[in-house]
Amino acid sequence: MRAIAIHSRDTSPAAPAGIRAHAACEPPRLIERPVPTPEAGQVLIAVSACGVCRTDLHIADGDLPLPHSPVIPGHEIVGRIVALGTGVTGFAHGQRVGVPWLGWTCGTCAHCLRGEENLCDDARFTGYQIDGGYAEYTVADARCCFALPDAYDDAEVAPLLCAGLIGYRALRMAGDAPRLGLYGFGAAAHIIAQVALWQGRSLYAFSRPGDDSAQAFARRLGATWAGASDALPPVPLDAAILFAPVGALVPAALRAVRKGGTVVCAGIHMSDIPSFPYSLLWGERRIVSVANLTRRDGEQFLALAPQVPVRTEVTTFPLADAAEAMARVRDGRINGAAVLVMDGLQQAGLQ
Ligand SMILES: [Zn+2]
Ligand SMILES: [Zn+2]
């Protein structure tokens, strides 16, 4: 099968000191691999679509260390089950399933026992420790797979699996916030904006200064206000969710929320947060992070999405063009989400 892999660069002692973090990996490239065999509890999936998430860029750019080399990224996987390992229940041959970032949990650590499997001490992640969906086939732990709502085609549903699920968890963390700010108006924000509006919240969208296209996109989706991330909204916000991985946005968002307001950091990686005066946090403002997802988040969100209905805006790329898709996400040259589709499916209407 064909797959896109990220290899670590040769880090021989000859490498110059102070080598930049993003030199840690080679550019993503196409490789040939045998089709994997599902072990007990796993399903083998013929992948039809896989979303490109910012976390994939953090892996490719060396912001997150490679757990091994090479890594096949991709954790917004949509495909059909073509083989079942022993002991799999609840799924059938031929069924369409989705695979998210949380790919394996131990079930026995204190967090798992509390139902916080998103915080599992030994959690393994799809497209990171576990080979992901930038590939024609992948294996996944059946306990982490989701049945997918029929209302979406394969490319449309892919972004729901990370941008949607983790965005939804972030939205829940924001609490009952009628005036909600979203910093970074990419794949996750464009999904969560629709849910927030449907819930009757008013939306304030922040994007990179000068990114008129993202601001227009936010207004088109129904944002009350859209502006630059260094601007203050016209009214104090009840909560703000940071989807952009920029630490400097934490004090910016604290400035924008009212006393008692919450700032939710939704990304898995963020640049360092600059120091800021305590007065910004004072007044019972809170900063929280969101880690991964629980099975419950996934089931709730995938049931909710067709009711809203959440519409995803996707730009599709063939698997071989993964590097180009990633570059466009990195540069903010995608409105909505980038999705890789496997050969033959793009022309065939993604059956
Ligand atoms: Zn993701
Ligand atoms: Zn655990």
Same domain, 266 and 171: yes
Ligand (nearest to CA of 53) = 1
Alpha-carbon distance of 26 to 29, in angstroms, equals: 8
Same structural domain for residues 240 and 340? Answer: no
Give strand ranges (E) for the chain: 2-5, 29-32, 42-52, 77-84, 96-99, 102-104, 124-125, 137-141, 146-147, 179-183, 202-207, 225-228, 237-242, 257-265, 286-289, 314-318, 337-341
141 CA → ligand 2 middle, Å: 15
* Rounded distance from Cα 189 to ligand 1 centre (Å): 13
Tell me: do 199 and 92 sit in the same domain: no
What's the gap in Å between 221 CA and the centre of ligand 2? 38
The residues, ordered by sequence, that sit 6+ positions from 132 with a Cβ below 8 Å of its Cβ are 50, 71, 72, 73, 74, 75, 77, 126, 138
Does 276 lie in the same domain as 144?
no
Q: Do residues 252 and 319 both lie within one domain?
A: no
Yes or no: say if 204 and 314 are a contact pair by the CB < 8 Å rule: no
Single pTM value for the model: 0.87
Are 18 and 143 in a shared domain? yes
Residues 188 and 223 reside in one and the same domain: yes
Q: Which-ligand-closest: CA of 104?
A: 2
Residues 155 and 238 in one domain: no
**Domain extent at residue 41:** 2-162+293-350
Separation of 88 CA from ligand 2 center, angstroms?
Answer: 20
Ligand 2 centroid, distance to 294 Cα (angstroms):
12
154 plus 299 within the same structural domain:
yes
Domains: count for the chain: 2
Tell me how far apart the alpha carbons of residues 71 and 351 are, in angstroms, rounded to a whole number. Answer: 28
Q: Which residues of the chain have pLDDT under 50?
A: 15, 18-22, 345-351
Is the domain of 152 the same as that of 212? no
- At 59, which CATH number? 3.90.180.10
Select from 236, 268, 289 the last residue of a domain.
289
Query: Could you say which of 243, 267, 289 is where a domain stops?
Result: 289
Distance from the alpha carbon of residue 292 to the mean position of ligand 2, in angstroms: 13
| Helix/strand/coil for 291 | coil
Looking at 268, 289, 310, the residue that finishes a domain is 289
- The predicted-structure confidence for 118-173, as pLDDT tens digits, reads as follows 999 999 999 999 999 999 999 999 999 999 999 999 999 999 999 899 899 999 99
Measure 76 CA to ligand 1 centroid, in angstroms.
Answer: 7
Q: What distances in angstroms separate CA 165 from CA 4, 241, 271, 273, 342, one per listed residue?
A: 24, 14, 23, 25, 23
pLDDT of residue 20: 47
Give the model's pLDDT for residue 25.
Answer: 87
Ligand 1 centroid–CA 74 distance in Å is 8
| CATH code of the domain in which 241 resides | 3.40.50.720
Q: In this predicted model, what pLDDT tens digit does every residue of 170-201 receive, in sequence order?
A: 999 999 999 999 999 888 898 999 999 999 99
What was the pLDDT predicted at 350? 39
C-alpha of residue 104 to centroid of ligand 2, in Å: 9
Note whether 158 and 43 are same-domain residues: yes
Write down the pLDDT at residue 292: 87
284 and 297 together in one domain: no
Gap from CA of 276 to ligand 1 centroid (Å): 29
